[in-house]
Amino acid sequence: MGSFDTEPEHIAIGGDGAVLAEKRGHVLLVTLNRPEARNAVNRAVTVGVGEALDYAEDTTDVWCVIITGAGDRAFCAGADLKAAAAGELGGDDERLRRWGFAGYVTHHVSKPTIAAVNGFALGGGTEITLASDLAVAADSATFGLPEVKRGIFAGAGGAFRLPRQIPDKIAMEVMLTGEPLSAHRARELGLVNQVVPLDDLLPAAFALADRILANAPVAVQVTKRIAKGITDGKVAAEEADWARSAAEGAHLMTTQDAREGMRAFAEKRQPRWEGK
């Protein structure tokens, strides 16, 4: 019997139900649970995912993590714009700053992570995939970083992680045009490991996890830390990238084009760019 068929044990985490966590054997399944909002990330999602990953890291009986989205339409639509405008995604909670977007993108755990991408994953959904060690996608999934179409940029790691995970010129095309990638194209480029029908998504993700679980867990964790450059929960090689993203992002948000992009999105019209 594989992990997928094991009776789930529900794990108590924060987030007021916006994230569900259940342990099946040695696998922790983390589900973004806002299908009515295409699983967009607000403070509750950030807290829930962050606490689930902390649980996984601190629990010797968890050897692998799978992250997915509720429903069949969206894995994650990125940041909840209302929550972001209200400052909910940062604030004075030191944990949220340390964990990064969705409680995930700078939350460097030793346990292997698998993204099970069940649908729309543009923007923040792609950045969660980039932050995962492995990924399985439904054949209906779409990936991409369309932020430039809104006058902003992929500030949750996408702007520097995508060119390191797929060929540089293809990554630049994806980021500078904002055009999406199909699941099969993402597989061809190496962004995901497998593409399967939606009904087979979680079984395939658990099957991949079971192949990892066949190995010595501590050896797997050491291997991941070395491969990713993780020391004390941090990746020193990315520190300059995050600092550059913060500085460039702060400047970008002062520009007229950034304000126009957000207005045009809210008003459901084409933006009128001025280049300033």
Strand bridging mode 64-69 / 27-32 = parallel
- Tell me which H or E stretch contains 131: helix 124-131
238 included as an active-site residue: no
The three-state DSSP-derived secondary structure of 8-20 is CEECCCCCCCCEE
**Is 265 exposed, middle or buried (CB count within 10 Å of its CB: 0-12, 13-18, 19+)?**
middle
Please count the CA atoms within 13 angstroms of the CA of 10 that sit on its side-chain side.
5
Return the SS3 of 260. helix
Nearest to 48 by CA among 73, 62, 29, 61: 29
Q: Is 267 a catalytic residue?
A: no
Residue type at 107? H
Only one residue has tokens 């084009």, namely: 257
Tokens for 30, please give them: 């983390």
Residues 6+ apart with CB under 8 A from 3: 24, 25, 26, 27, 206, 209, 210, 213
Active-site pick, 7, 9, 51, 127:
127
Considering the candidates 94, 147, 188, 239, report the single residue annotated as catalytic: 147
Residue 6's Cβ-side half-sphere holds a number of Cα atoms within 13 Å equal to: 17
Give the active site residues: 127, 147
